[in-house]
Amino acid sequence: MSKIERYQGNVQAFASNAQGLERTVFGGTTQANDLTSQVTAAFLRGWGIVGPSEHPSLEDFNAAMHAMSQFIAYQHQMGVPEWNNTQEYYTGSVCVRNGEVYISLSDSNVGSVPPSAKWTLALTAKNALANISGFLKTSNNLSEIAQAGAIAQAAAIANLGVKRQRTYVSPGITLVANTPAIQTHGLTLTPEECILNIRLRCVSANNGYSVGDFAIGFAARITAGDTGSMAGSLGAVLTSTTAQFNTGNAGITIMPKSSGTAVGINTTGAFAQWALEFIIIY
């Protein structure tokens, strides 16, 4: 069946415009417009109130049609019916109370006023911040996940599809001329999703640097004449298992701490004054 198009107007009950007593309550002689008054004992009995030799009256036909269509009009008006203490609700039933929508959590749910243990609030843009049980509150900021421990934290991060940023710093490596410096990092990572940095840490005072300082700039040195131009590359390569930096034939070139003239580091003694470190952000 194709979709039924909505009536383009304000839905009203059948015989809403009945004149005089053309419409009464079902099986009665008085008229009423509210739904509660329509549901009489005669309405619940139905056409059984008409005797074998009698004919249903115009008033009763109008009453029956009016009551049924009034329910439909009410549904269109409210969207979700209001809660009532005598209505029987089941798991998944929906009602409105005080402008909020609630969903029943149990069967045979009668007389339990929302909010209660038998009802859960349907979250909306209007009430989510105040009613999401501590989550997303500015005063809490998901702190209960942190309090729940590492397993809960890892699960939350995985559920969000977010990768937590971590930093790996390798042990210091003493360089050797014309020899690759290779560090096995032991991490589980995708190189294209990581950042690799390298730094040269001073372990013995050299060229104005104190122990613990990092060289301001350094590069692979191809020949002894490369010191003036800082020839070579500062680059390094990260793979799924290792990080690698290659020194040049003539070692490396560094910039002194307090001058702009590059100097070469190419002897065992000079190399021993420095330690290369790989930094992986993954």
Going residue by residue through the chain, which has 282 residues, state the pLDDT in tens, using 9 for 90 and above: 898 887 888 889 999 999 999 999 999 999 999 999 999 999 999 999 999 989 999 999 999 999 999 999 999 999 999 999 999 999 999 999 999 999 999 999 999 999 999 999 998 877 776 666 555 555 556 777 878 777 887 788 778 877 667 899 999 999 999 999 999 999 999 999 899 999 999 999 999 999 999 998 888 887 766 554 444 445 799 999 999 999 988 889 898 998 878 888 889 999 999 999 999 998
Of 144, 160, 176, the residue at which a domain comes to its end is 160
Of 105, 133, 160, the residue at which a domain comes to its end is 160
Which residue is listed with tokens 């004919």? 55
DSSP-assigned beta bridge partners for residue 218: 254
CA–CA separation, 249 vs 266, rounded Å?
9
Of 137, 16, 132, the closest CA to residue 72 belongs to 16
> Burial level of 115, CB count in 10 A (0-12/13-18/19+)?
middle
**Other Cβ atoms closer than 10 A to 66:** 26
CATH number of the domain bearing residue 226: 2.60.40
> Same domain for 246 and 194?
yes
The CA-atom distances, in angstroms, between 82 and each of 13, 175, 263 are 19, 78, 83
> Same domain for 192 and 122?
no
Please give the model's pTM, rounded to 2 decimal places: 0.45
Of 79, 103, 119, the residue at which a domain comes to its end is 79
Query: Residue 89 has which token pair?
Result: 């609700």
Q: What pLDDT is attached to residue 276? A: 96
Q: What pLDDT is attached to residue 233? A: 46
Domain that holds residue 156: 94-160
> Same domain for 118 and 218?
no
Instruction: Report the domain count for the chain.
Output: 3
Q: What pLDDT is attached to residue 220? A: 86
> Same domain for 14 and 48?
yes
> Same domain for 209 and 265?
yes
CA–CA separation, 55 vs 134, rounded Å?
64
User: Is residue 276 in some structural domain?
Assistant: yes
CA–CA separation, 205 vs 273, rounded Å?
7
> Same domain for 216 and 233?
yes
User: Is residue 86 in some structural domain?
Assistant: no
Query: Residue 94 has which token pair?
Result: 């929906």
> Same domain for 140 and 177?
no
> Same domain for 55 and 114?
no
> Same domain for 127 and 32?
no
E-strand spans in the chain? Answer: 94-97, 100-104, 119-121, 167-169, 180-184, 195-202, 218-220, 237-238, 242-246, 252-254, 263-265, 274-281
User: Is residue 250 in some structural domain?
Assistant: yes
Q: What pLDDT is attached to residue 227? A: 52
The CA-atom distances, in angstroms, between 273 and each of 37, 180, 188, 214 are 97, 18, 32, 12
Residue type, 258: S
Pairing of strands 274-281, 195-202: antiparallel
User: Is residue 103 in some structural domain?
Assistant: yes
